[in-house]
Structure 1
């Protein structure tokens, strides 16, 4: 599974300035709505589903990275977006540190295998320090898309 297959390039935000976890999630789901990938009437229920998932345990996995995600009946295919917060955001991460890189994933409930494969793909790349360093330095959505393509083609060595 390739990142470019499900990351919505029109929804990428390389200049995220928010105060907290809920604001991150609202902003990222809003960008998916603005890109036309989710309907306006589904926005709040998707946000609520992601926040409910966060109550089970933070998706801030450490090293400045978080992967908020949920399954939601309003989507037919995997969709994801990326946000970069140069100042970092308090996200109740497992290591207690601020988060700079966010991958938000929304999957159809009837495709749990795809959801898990997407999370595994995202996590594998986020374990690569070169990938994370280049992501943090990305200034445009085009920079991020180019980096995702390089990662998909295994051109980033750790």
Structure 2
């Protein structure tokens, strides 16, 4: 699975300004709504599902990265967006550090394999220091999209 198969380019937020974990999640879900990937009627339920998942344990996995995610019946296939918070965000990360890179993932409940493959793909990319470094420097949607495409092409 490659990032460009499920990251929605028009939902990418290269300059996220959020004061809290919930604010960041709400903005990312709203970007997917604006991009036409989720319906307005489902927006609050998706936010609630992601926040409920966060109560189980932060998806701030360390090294300045968070991957909030959920399964929700309103989506027909796996979708994701990326947000960059250049000022850093307290995401209650496992390592206690601020988060700068966020990938938000939503998948249908009846496709758990896709959900796991999506999470695995995201974390595989985020383990690469160069990828994270370039991503943190991106300031436009097109820069992020280009970086994701380049990473997909160089995937071994």
Name the CA distance, whole Å, in 2 between partners of 1:81 and 1:104: 5
- Residue 14 of structure 1: aligned partner: 14
- Residue 71 of structure 2: aligned partner: 71
Q: TM-score, normalised by structure 1?
A: 0.97
Name the CA distance, whole Å, in 2 between partners of 1:117 and 1:151: 16
Name the CA distance, whole Å, in 1 between partners of 2:139 and 2:41: 31
- Residue 80 of structure 1: aligned partner: 80
In the alignment, structure 2 segments of 5+ residues that lack a partner are: none
In the alignment, structure 1 segments of 5+ residues that lack a partner are: none
Matched, 1:24 2:24: yes
Name the CA distance, whole Å, in 2 between partners of 1:35 and 1:62: 29
- Residue 53 of structure 2: aligned partner: 53
Q: TM-score, normalised by structure 2?
A: 0.98
SS of 1:103 mapped into structure 2? strand
Give the CA deviation at 1:153. 1.2
Name the CA distance, whole Å, in 2 between partners of 1:145 and 1:2: 12
1:133-144 correspondence runs (5 A): 133-144=133-144
Give the CA deviation at 1:83. 0.2
Name the CA distance, whole Å, in 2 between partners of 1:101 and 1:137: 11
Name the CA distance, whole Å, in 2 between partners of 1:134 and 1:38: 29
Name the CA distance, whole Å, in 2 between partners of 1:61 and 1:154: 24
Equivalent pairs counted in the alignment come to 156
Name the CA distance, whole Å, in 1 between partners of 2:71 and 2:23: 20
